Amino acid sequence: MIDDIYKSIKASMYERATSPLFGAFAISWSLWNYKTILVILSSMKVNDKISYIESEIYSEDWSLLLGGAIYPLISAVFFILIYPHPAKWIYKYWNNQQKKLKEIKQRIEDDTPLTLDESRQIRRELLRFESYYDDEITKKNNEIDRLKDIISTLEKQAQASSPEPAPEKSPSPKQQTKPKVDDRINEDQESILADIAKSGGWVTDDQFVSKSKFDTVKTEYYLEDLEAKGYVTRGYVGAKGGISTTLTTKGKKFAIDKGAVS
């Protein structure tokens, strides 16, 4: 029973302590009555503290009412109701300015060309990733061949240990040949291939998309479609981050046939 009462009182005190009005009122009361707090915390005797507070700080009845309740309450209400409006405006203004600064910084970085060392670093990273991908593909192909050999050996062992001949398999229907992928491209994509070829055969997507005569969505779609049709390859660039697009042998041949490069 006592524990329940204690928990109830504790919960009630916690709720009041976390109330915005209670917190604002406590701060306001402390500011309006800082002299009283200093006297209470001083080394004076208790009777001297009470006499000083009654005679010096709250010498009039109305001063106790105003300083102890009305002024702190008005200040707390002002802080809760009025203060958020200018604070919200200032916060919004500050964030807008920060956003503009970030946009200016990003625009400057986008317009700044890469140095020769950065270009060489990007090429080295691209070659390293291509080599890594080739090694991974070779490892996977070797693993597939090894597993095929194991499966073939197990099938032969199972057939040799089986007392009954395996039933003849019904002839499988003739497999349909897959339709040939349409690798034709339109004039806009031909223009994109020509621009990539004139840039040395590879570009970074961020700079290429920003300078393209087509809008961003159309340019990205054309790059993805060219990749699907085998004209370009796209991969991650580690030095600056982002994606690079490189002409494949098929893409280079197409650019040469169309006269995009001499």
In this predicted model, what pLDDT tens digit does every residue of 66-104 receive, in sequence order? 777 888 888 888 888 887 888 888 888 898 888 888 888
**Amino acid 180: pLDDT:** 61
**Amino acid 137: pLDDT:** 92
> What's the pLDDT tens digit per position in 100-123?
888 888 888 777 777 788 878 888
CA distance linking residue 152 with residue 173, whole number of Å:
23
CA distance linking residue 56 with residue 47, whole number of Å:
14
Identify the band that residue 198 occupies on the pLDDT scale cut at 50, 70 and 90.
confident
Helix ranges restricted to H, the chain = 2-17, 20-32, 34-41, 46-52, 61-65, 71-81, 84-111, 116-161, 187-198, 205-211, 216-228, 249-257
**Amino acid 144: pLDDT:** 93
**Amino acid 169: pLDDT:** 56
* CATH 1.10.10.10 residue window(s) in the chain: 187-257
Rounded to an integer, the average pLDDT of 239-247 is 73
pTM of the model: 0.32
Q: How many CB atoms lie within 10 A of CB 247?
A: 23
30 vs 8, more confident: 30
Angle at 115 between CA 223 and CA 190, to 5 degrees: 20
Amino acid at 81: L
Structural class in CATH, domain 187-257? mainly alpha
- Judged against a pLDDT cut of 60, whether residue 174 lies above it is answered with no
User: What does the DSSP 8-state code read for residue 57?
Assistant: I
**Amino acid 42: pLDDT:** 85
Rounded to an integer, the average pLDDT of 221-247 is 80
